[in-house]
Amino acid sequence: MLSDTVFEKTHQRPATLVLLLRGIAKGESSARLSRELGIGRKRVMELRHTIQNNLYETLPTAVMDGQTFEADEVYQNAGKKGTPHFDPNDPPRYRANKARGRGTYDNDRPPIIGVICRETGEYRYWVVEHADKATSRQIIQASILPDGTLLFTDEATNYIQ
């Protein structure tokens, strides 16, 4: 069942692998996943690195097909709202969840830049440290052909030529 996948020869039950993937997607620490799944921390780290390496190796690198595209960015709150913090000697750090404006990795609001082709429906997303002009241009230039294409944006300064 797991042949020809990244999980081949992992000797883990499929249910455990699904819970591991869910934990990684939620940003859970390897130590916590280790405790919850009953797997050694070192083994969880090995599985996590195998999964991450596989994701990076299989990222699409070809230019997207189509001639009409849309690009936009969103800033995802990464802080854990509602999690009680009981240690008075270690107060929680300020989260940027209430801050106005653009987010960054540094203020726990990492930008996610998306590009979608209006004809084919193909889409790609990148989680980046900053959604500045240089980063946005690099993503756009690597994703779509410069000649004969239309790019629709929200006219944010990071997309202006």
- Taking the C-alpha atoms of residue 41 and residue 17, their distance in angstroms, rounded to an integer, is 15
- Count Cβ atoms below 10 Å from residue 133 Cβ, excluding itself: 14
Which of the pair, 72 or 7, is modelled with greater confidence?
72
- Mean pLDDT calculated for residue range 67-73: 91
pLDDT at 6: 74
- Mean pLDDT calculated for residue range 114-141: 89
- Mean pLDDT calculated for residue range 63-81: 81
pLDDT range class, residue 96, cuts 50, 70, 90: very low
Q: Which of 40-49, 98-107, 125-134 is predicted with the least confidence, judged by mean pLDDT? A: 98-107
